[in-house]
């Protein structure tokens, strides 16, 4: 199944009435979320509010209990949609890197294009080296992930996701597992990426970053979106008591 034509104004992510339960625990209670091409948004909110679950529904790592989720023109609630096809358009970076430990850095970056895009090894190697250069790790191409710092591993994970040339990138707390001194180097890579026109959704606890880099901030609590808007509006003049309380704890 191919992606439908996405017009310039159509949202590339369109979530309507998304509900998700784990057993009797309803974690998402009717989420509406629309993201336009090139928009960079952050999902913020207290621990357990459902931020990662939304992100996982955008890549069908979780199936919604009800509601619709359209991403890159695909209806993810349609069982006939080939998820591998969807994931060519949607890259994801996780908190814990998920690199293959028995492969070198460059092999990690080359793997998906060779296997799923049928790219030649030479071509994939060239692309991988360019991506590693972009994240400042060309000299680590032949190292194993175990020889890298957390920040370096995460930059490799970003390069690996970019190797599929996705139009959408999802970041699930990409810096939460890092030592504080490594957070900046990863945020810098994400910051540069945000300026390239790629659509990005970031679950983050880095409020300063969300404020500076994102076009829109979406605040969630208890499985619902409580407030959203431009960062200066959301951080500068929070309307809901829940957001005020949250910001008073994290800022
Ligand atoms: N696979 C699962 N099985 C059962 N419960 C789950 C599962 N995944 C998430 N949950 C529950 O759903 C709720 C929301 O989790 P989620 O990870 O989406 O929150 P979050 O806002 O991203 O939190 P944090 O900021 O701590 O990562 C939590 O109560 C969590 O325990």
Q: Which domains does the chain have, with CATH numbers?
A: 13-248 (3.40.50.300)
- State the pTM of this model: 0.93
The mean per-residue pLDDT over the stretch 125-148 comes to 97
Query: Is the separation of the CB atoms in 89 and 167 below 8 Å?
Result: yes
The secondary structure of residue 41, as a DSSP letter, is E
How many other C-beta atoms can be found within 10 angstroms of the C-beta atom of residue 154?
Answer: 29
Here the ipTM equals 0.97
Query: Is the separation of the CB atoms in 22 and 53 below 8 Å?
Result: no
Query: Is the separation of the CB atoms in 209 and 231 below 8 Å?
Result: no
Please say if the pLDDT value at position 1 is more than 70. Answer: no
Ligand 1 pocket, 49 CB below 6 A?
yes
User: How confident is residue 117, by pLDDT bands cut at 50, 70 and 90?
Assistant: confident
Strand 25-36 to 216-221 pairing = unpaired
Output the CA 204–ligand 1 centroid distance in Å: 14
Length of the chain in terms of residues written: 251
Output the CA 220–ligand 1 centroid distance in Å: 13
Output the CA 163–ligand 1 centroid distance in Å: 29
Ligand 1 atom 10: residue of nearest CA: 22
Ligand 1 atom 16: residue of nearest CA: 50
Query: Is the separation of the CB atoms in 132 and 188 below 8 Å?
Result: no
Please say if the pLDDT value at position 3 is more than 60. Answer: no
The mean per-residue pLDDT over the stretch 196-204 comes to 96
pLDDT at site 212: 92
Q: Considering the chain, what is the average pLDDT of its residues?
A: 94
Q: How far apart are CA 202 and CA 94, in angstroms?
A: 10
The mean per-residue pLDDT over the stretch 67-82 comes to 96
Ligand 1 pocket, 53 CB below 6 A?
yes
pLDDT at site 2: 45
pLDDT at site 118: 86
Query: Is the separation of the CB atoms in 106 and 142 below 8 Å?
Result: yes
Q: How far apart are CA 75 and CA 77, in angstroms?
A: 5
- Per cent of the chain over pLDDT 90 is 94
pLDDT at site 9: 63
The mean per-residue pLDDT over the stretch 100-121 comes to 95
Please say if the pLDDT value at position 211 is more than 50. Answer: yes
Ligand 1 pocket, 108 CB below 6 A?
no
Ligand 1 atom 25: residue of nearest CA: 47
The mean per-residue pLDDT over the stretch 14-36 comes to 98
Please say if the pLDDT value at position 24 is more than 50. Answer: yes
Ligand 1 pocket, 48 CB below 6 A?
yes
Ligand 1 pocket, 42 CB below 6 A?
no
Q: How far apart are CA 8 and CA 23, in angstroms?
A: 39
Output the CA 71–ligand 1 centroid distance in Å: 21
Output the CA 32–ligand 1 centroid distance in Å: 18
Output the CA 53–ligand 1 centroid distance in Å: 6
């Amino acid at each position: 199944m191919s992606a439908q034509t996405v017009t310039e104004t159509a949202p590339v992510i369109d979530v309507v009435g998304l509900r998700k339960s784990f057993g009797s625990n309803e974690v998402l209670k009717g989420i509406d979320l629309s993201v336009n091409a090139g928009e960079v948004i952050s999902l913020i909110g207290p621990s357990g509010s459902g931020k990662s679950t939304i992100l996982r529904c955008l890549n069908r790592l979780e199936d919604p209990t009800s509601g619709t989720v359209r991403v890159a023109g695909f209806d993810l609630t349609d069982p006939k949609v080939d998820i591998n096809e969807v994931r060519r358009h949607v890259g994801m970076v996780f908190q814990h890197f998920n690199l293959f430990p028995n492969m070198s850095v460059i092999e990690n970056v080359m793997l998906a294009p060779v296997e799923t895009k049928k790219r030649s090894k030479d071509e994939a190697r060239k692309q991988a080296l360019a991506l590693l250069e972009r994240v400042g790790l060309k000299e680590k191409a032949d190292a194993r992930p175990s020889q890298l710092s957390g920040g370096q591993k995460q930059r490799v994970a970003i390069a690996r996701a970019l190797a599929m040339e996705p139009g959408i990138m999802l970041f699930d707390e990409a810096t939460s597992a890092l030592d504080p001194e490594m957070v900046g180097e990863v945020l810098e890579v994400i910051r540069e990426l945000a300026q390239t026109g790629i659509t990005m959704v970031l679950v983050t606890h880095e409020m300063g970053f969300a404020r500076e880099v994102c076009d829109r901030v979406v605040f969630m609590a208890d499985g619902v979106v409580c407030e959203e808007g431009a960062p200066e509006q959301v951080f500068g003049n929070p309307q809901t008591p829940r957001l005020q309380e949250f910001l008073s704890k994290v800022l």
